[in-house]
Structures are given as structure tokens and as C-alpha cells.
Amino acid sequence: MTTLTDRPRTALLVIDVQNGVVRGAHDRDRVVATIAGLVDRARAADVPVVWVQHRSDDLPTDSEQWRIVPELTRRDDEPLVHKTYGDSFEDTDLEPVLAAARVGRLVVTGAQTDACVRSTLHGAFTRGYDATLVADAHTTEDLSAYGAPPPAQVIAHTNLYWSFQTAPGRTAGTVDAADVDFAA
């Protein structure tokens, strides 16, 4: 249903599941385990797994905090997209990577819910991709000291509003990991 022509494939997008990003994240271990299960299922279904890795002053390249968490292992043949902005498409090679794999539908997981995950969902959708958020496979840190709602509410709100996204010729929504259908 994507508006991108000749892009029938689905990809699993794993955004910023890095030591320094998820160190204090809400329900970290369960979310990482859920993502690991999705990675295994995607690989078994011959669905591309695309990894996104953020770098910044707080996440310098090759530092411990920059590395993907040890519970997740990227295969050498799986694309790794490096980014410096919230939207994983912005000033990266994500679009050419997806185009080469003929991907028009994204299944999105990762961190931070209210920053990079949210920005990437919107970036994908406005670029013509179908974008499904895995409701129980994204997380964020507690920023309530700065006026944000508690993390569980941020996650719930993102799941709620993304389940109602619509646009001509594209689909969006949320789904629990157990109900992800990589063949759809």
C-alpha cells in the first residue's frame, strides 16, 4: 500500500538501541528482549533488519555508550545507518539502503520514543513509507524532571496517537510484537 512504487518489501528498523541511549530507559531489559525476538523473526522470514546508530557529543563514535547493546548482535550483511539527527532519514543513507532492498513498509522499534523513534516514524510516513510502530518494542528515559510525562505515559501516548495516523495511499498503526506479521 506504500506510495513508493515497486517497493513491496518490509524491513525491521532498530533505532538507537545503544548503551548510552537505553542505559536508564523505562523497562529496558524487556524492551531489548522484545527487539531481539523481532530481529530473530525478521531474519527467519528473510526480512531485512536495518540498524540505526546515533552519534553526538554524548555518544561519540566508537565509545562504549555509542555501541549497540550487547544483547543485540548486528550481522555484517545487515545495513548500519549512522545519524546525527532525530529523524533517521535526515542526512543519512537510510533512503538509498531501503530503496536498494525495495522496502516500502517499515516495522519500527527502538529508542527514544519521544525523540528519534517519533521523528523517524513521521519522516518515514511523509516520505511515502507505510510505518508500523511495535507498541511494546520502544522505550524512553524519564524526563519528568524537565516537565515531560513519566516514560510509561510517553510510550502509551505515542502508541495511541500513532494508531490513528492516516494519509493517502499509506498505512500506519501500532501492533504488539507478538502480532507482527512480516509477510503482510
Q: Which of 21, 94, 98, 116 is catalytic?
A: 116
Q: How far apart are the C-alpha atoms of 47 and 40, rounded to whole Å?
A: 10
Position 1 confidence tier, pLDDT thresholds 50, 70, 90: low
- The average pLDDT across 121-148 equals 97
Q: Beta strand 80-83 with 49-54: parallel, antiparallel or unpaired?
A: parallel
Task: Say yes or no to pLDDT of 53 above 70.
Answer: yes
For 22-46, the pLDDT digits (tens) are: 999 999 999 999 999 999 999 999 9
Q: How far is CA 163 from the centre of its chain?
A: 15
155 is catalytic: no
Q: What is the CA angle 58-64-66, rounded to 5?
A: 50
How many CB atoms sit inside 10 A of residue 151's CB?
21
pLDDT for 2: 74
**Mean pLDDT over all residues of the chain?**
97
Q: Which residue has the cell 511523509?
A: 126
Rounded-to-integer distance, Cα 123 and Cα 129, Å: 9
What are 4-22's pLDDT values in tens digits?
989 999 999 999 999 999 9
In this structure, the number of other CB atoms found within 10 A of the CB of residue 8 comes to: 10
- How would residue 183 be classed by pLDDT, with cut points 50, 70 and 90? confident
Q: Which of 156, 153, 158, 183 is nearest to 172 (CA)?
A: 158
Query: What's the one-letter identity of residue 177?
Result: A
For the stretch 82-134, pLDDT in tens is: 999 999 999 999 999 999 999 999 999 999 999 999 999 999 999 999 999 99
In eight-state DSSP terms, residue 111 is E
